[in-house]
Structure 1
Amino acid sequence: MLPLGNLERPLRFPWVTLGLIVANALVWVAYEVNVGVDVAAEELGFRPCEVNGSCSQVGQPWALDSLTAMFAHGGWSHLVGNLVFLAALGPLVEGLVGHVRYLLLYLLSGFAADALQGSLTLAFATHEAEIPNIGASGAISGVVAAFVVARPFDRVVAWVPPCLFVRVPAIALLGVWFVIQTLEGIYTLSHPESVVGIAFFAHVGGFAAGAILATAFLPDAWTRHLVPGWSHAPHRPVH
């Protein structure tokens, strides 16, 4: 099930969301397709073992790897799936928190994703610590969480393959998604022999960071949703 948006016009043109979509697409088309995913992952990916020095550094320092890894993907489906989430949910969040704060939320969520996934890998799955992590999923998970904080009861249009479209409250659709990521992550940690190739706790870490940052950027969001009688006037965007 893929979210397609809530049909609400953004409060401002989503320049940052558009720029992030273009940047991710360009890295894939102009670089990864040419050199191959394996080479790109080695050059751009984040390897947890570099953080504690249990493996040699490949390319740039691990902190910079964490940034470049946000713009690399493992295939067309990985890229398209991530960008659909970003295009569907990013514009509204960007409109509410402002361009600069939105970019900050995106990047910090991506770093938090690597921090959680990397620390758990080093603690419980050291045999995977040299595998480079790539993808914008962690950063986009932060945007997903921000959408839930800002508009939990908005009905999001979602596509259910092959041809069904439904409208579901954001907190139901995206909340279930988060629970699934958490359960899948716990399973992979408790079954180290299973190799699924998905960093589920990166999604969890990005989501947690996005929820915290969105709460800081939109301090009245929870009061607006949870306190009876609170004004439901549209939130005034920041600049």
Structure 2
Amino acid sequence: MSLLTLRGVRKSYGDNVVLDDFGLDVEPGECVVLIGASGSGKSTLLRCVNLLEVVDDGVIQLAGVDITDPRIDQDKVRSGIGIVFQAYNLFPHLTVLDNITLAPIRVHGVPRDVARTRALEMLERVGLADKASARPDELSGGQQQRAAIARALVNEPQLMLLDEVTSALDPELVGEVLNLLRELKSDGMTMLICTHEMSFARDVADQVCFLHEGRPLEVGPPAEVLDDPREARTREFLSRVSGTTGR
């Protein structure tokens, strides 16, 4: 059974249809990379999966449970999904450790000592064990993004959603975040990632999904979608972002 299933998902803002009859399956342990031009619906898709947006139609299932059912406990669903945005969204007045323990303690009711222990384990995991007492403005951009990923991982999510997590970083800092995502992939984390890093998509993705006008125009292994795309729109997009045109 797929961990994440989307069927007929539609989302619009007024007359602007952002997702249109969207369907996708993500298997446990799989990394699916979403690519497409700005405005193609990638970020909205992640926000719908995390229930930050209410879909207008269609069904999203997580581990076989319809999470678009209005009777669902949204906080419980979100506790099983980690999401990381382009902006780090760390509270500047809190230490890195306090940023990571805030939601487990206040939202999920985790005892403080348990939350701190788990947070320190996550900081060790992302290579920031020595930065627990630092404030966010004392960290580099790459370190702040790794701290944001640690915060998303602390609840041991079933699924990680990552939205252009390297686009705000200086080029020399991109590698450290992508390497962390590679490690998460090797550990079996299921991930849905929006990115313009085509080399990362080629190396790590099990599937690449090219979105065009809110639809999954082309979905398949990286070797097919990135190197031998069927659709003219896919070839046009790849030509713009990476200078490749496929066949």
Q: What is the TM-score with the length of structure 1 in the denominator?
A: 0.28
Q: Greater strand percent: which structure?
A: 2
Q: What is the TM-score with the length of structure 2 in the denominator?
A: 0.28
Q: Greater helix percent: which structure?
A: 1
